[in-house]
Amino acid sequence: MNRLMVLLGAASLTLLTACGQAPESDDALAEEQETVEQIPVEVGQARLGSVSAFYSATASLEADGRAQVVPRLGGQVTELLVEEGDAVEIGQVLARLDAERLRLELAQAEANMRRLQQDFDRHREMHERDMISTEAFDRLKFEFEAQTAQYELAQLELSYSDIRAPISGVISMRDLRVGNQVNTADPVFEITALDPLEAVLDVPERELSRLKPGQPAVLHADALPGEEFVGEVARISPVIDPDSGTFRVTVELSGEQDRLRPGMFGRFSIIYDTRDDVVLVPVDAVLSEDGRSAVFVIANGQAERRLVVPGYRNNGHLEIVEGLAADELVVTTGQASLRSGSPVLVLNEPIGYDGAATVATTEVAIGDDA
């Protein structure tokens, strides 16, 4: 009986306390309800910029020029003038062979030529005076010409004792040492031309009408992260491989020999179309459903679902062809909970945001097809 009286007393006290509290105003309740119903979102700005469409493929760099150096005559190496990695110019001497015998042969040929030249000059004067027959003069003339050719041949043979570079480039292989005996069948050097460098891409035939010689091609090499190299399409094969359904596109990069090397692997992006002053939005802002695209636009603190027509896309932006202006804010995170008219709470208000969209411009973007 006493417990029952205590519980009844406590309930009466609670009821009196509640009756003594002042009720909340309608405005406060509305404000509290509005705050609870706001959906938190993150937004991005639609910006004016440029966007490009490109075809991407991976390939390895190749040297445009490569030559194996083979001696033109056999002999013993007496002097080595270059090492692997050295840059050389066309015609530069790389190594020398023992040429003592060739020098003696040249000296002998020169002496015989000079003797016959003296005889020829003397007999020419006699022939002009009709002191010798034309037949005798012609015979001496032919002997002198033959000896002159023999002398020039000896000069040529002696020049072959200098092993020279047939092209400009860098020494990529050296396979001889001083004292080695070499012959005309074995390559002793390999020279690789580093400028220009090339890459051959196997491109699907559907891209044939889009790609043209002279189009810019951007390379991002795996060995040089964060760096970008710009070349161009040098040539396009007109023949489609029937087995693979692809055609060959050769990309050329010039003036980058200080950084790029043959064999480097990377991704090439061939730009075939560029559009300027287009509306760009973050890719995360665009929703796709049933083949239609839409964004949620923020206006007066509320979300508005709007159908858009997308265009090209890049690494983080999407071109909007129709449906959006460059001075609007779009939702990038939190769209799943939104409907048209939903009040929103912007968590990452852009600089200058005052409840309406702001205008901004972005830098050039490079992108794929939408």
**Each residue's pLDDT tens digit, 113-167:** 998 888 888 888 787 777 778 888 888 889 889 999 999 999 999 999 999 999 9
Output 164 or 24, whichever has higher pLDDT: 164
**Rounded Cα–Cα distance for residues 266 and 300 (Å):** 47
pLDDT of residue 294: 93
What pTM was estimated for this model as a whole?
0.59
Residue 307: is its pLDDT beyond 60? Answer: yes
Helix (H) or strand (E) holding 319, with range, is: strand 317-322
**Rounded Cα–Cα distance for residues 309 and 288 (Å):** 11
Q: What residue ranges define each of the domains in the chain, with the CATH number in brackets? A: 38-52+276-368 (2.40.420.20), 56-64+193-274 (2.40.30.170), 99-160 (1.10.287)
Output 37 or 339, whichever has higher pLDDT: 339
H-only helix segments in 65-181: 100-128, 134-159
Band of the pLDDT at 26, cuts 50, 70, 90?
low
Task: Please state whether beta strands 344-346 and 39-45 pair in parallel, antiparallel, or not at all (unpaired).
Answer: parallel
CB burial of residue 287 (10 Å; 0-12, 13-18, 19+): middle
**Each residue's pLDDT tens digit, 248-305:** 999 999 887 678 888 999 999 999 998 898 999 999 999 998 889 999 999 888 899 9
Neighbouring residues of 292: CB distance < 8 A, sequence distance ≥ 6 = 307
pLDDT of residue 129: 76
C-beta separation of 345 from 333 below 8 A = no
Give the mean pLDDT of the chain: 83
- Work out the angle at residue 354's Cα, subtended by the Cα atoms of residues 350 and 355, and round it to the nearest 5 degrees: 100
φ, ψ dihedrals at 78, nearest 5°:
-110, -20
Band of the pLDDT at 230, cuts 50, 70, 90?
very high
C-beta separation of 250 from 298 below 8 A = no
Q: Is 14 in a helix, a strand, or coil?
A: helix
Residue 103: is its pLDDT beyond 60? Answer: yes
Output 306 or 29, whichever has higher pLDDT: 306
Report the pLDDT averaged over residues 344-363: 53
310 C-beta neighbours (distance < 10 Å), count: 20
Q: Spell out a b/e string for 197-227, using b for 16 or more CB atoms within 10 Å of the CB, else e.
A: bbbebebeeebeeebeeebbbbbbbeeeeee
308: which 2 tokens?
Answer: 């858009």
Report the pLDDT averaged over residues 308-312: 91
Helix axes 134-159, 100-128, angle to 10 degrees: 160
Residue 196: is its pLDDT beyond 50? Answer: yes
pLDDT of residue 2: 41
Band of the pLDDT at 28, cuts 50, 70, 90?
low
pLDDT of residue 363: 33
